[in-house]
A = this chain, B = another copy of it.
Amino acid sequence: MKDPINLLSKFDLFSDHWSPKVIAEMNDYQFKVVKLKGSFVRHKHEETDEVFIVIEGSMHIELSDKTVEINQGEMAVVPKGQLHRPFANGECKVLLVEPRGTINTGDAGGKQQAPNDVWI
């Protein structure tokens, strides 16, 4: 068993936004820390649900019919296949949980696509 991981400490190791870093694996799933600020591309993940856990700050997810706010200490699950556009007015620190290989921009690709499987 590896040493426990302090979540907030991991966020001190990088400053870029919308670029998830892997901190742990459970079976074929990865736990990733990511800083959000500003707007992200609207996208979906056809093959998987995606979990957002807000560690610090707050974020929003714009869906086709509503916009959901996720605050510090809250988690939300975006179902697979559902179009969503995350955004954050201030900087928000998030823990993502999703299968290894999941690309941050899903089906959309584009400029905001981050390198995958980057560990920190």
Chain A interface (Cβ within 8 Å of chain B)? 1-8, 23-27, 29, 31, 48-51, 53, 61, 63, 68-71, 73-80, 82, 84, 97-99
Contacts and interface: CB of A to CB of B under 8 A. Distances in A.
A111 to B, nearest CB: 25
Nearest to A76: B4
A76 B26 CA distance: 10
B4 A71 contact: yes
Contacts of A53: 7
A26 B7 contact: no
A1 B68 contact: yes
A5 B74 contact: yes
Nearest to A8: B73
Nearest to A29: B29
A99 B27 contact: yes
A78 B25 CA distance: 10
A1 B63 contact: yes
A50 B78 contact: no
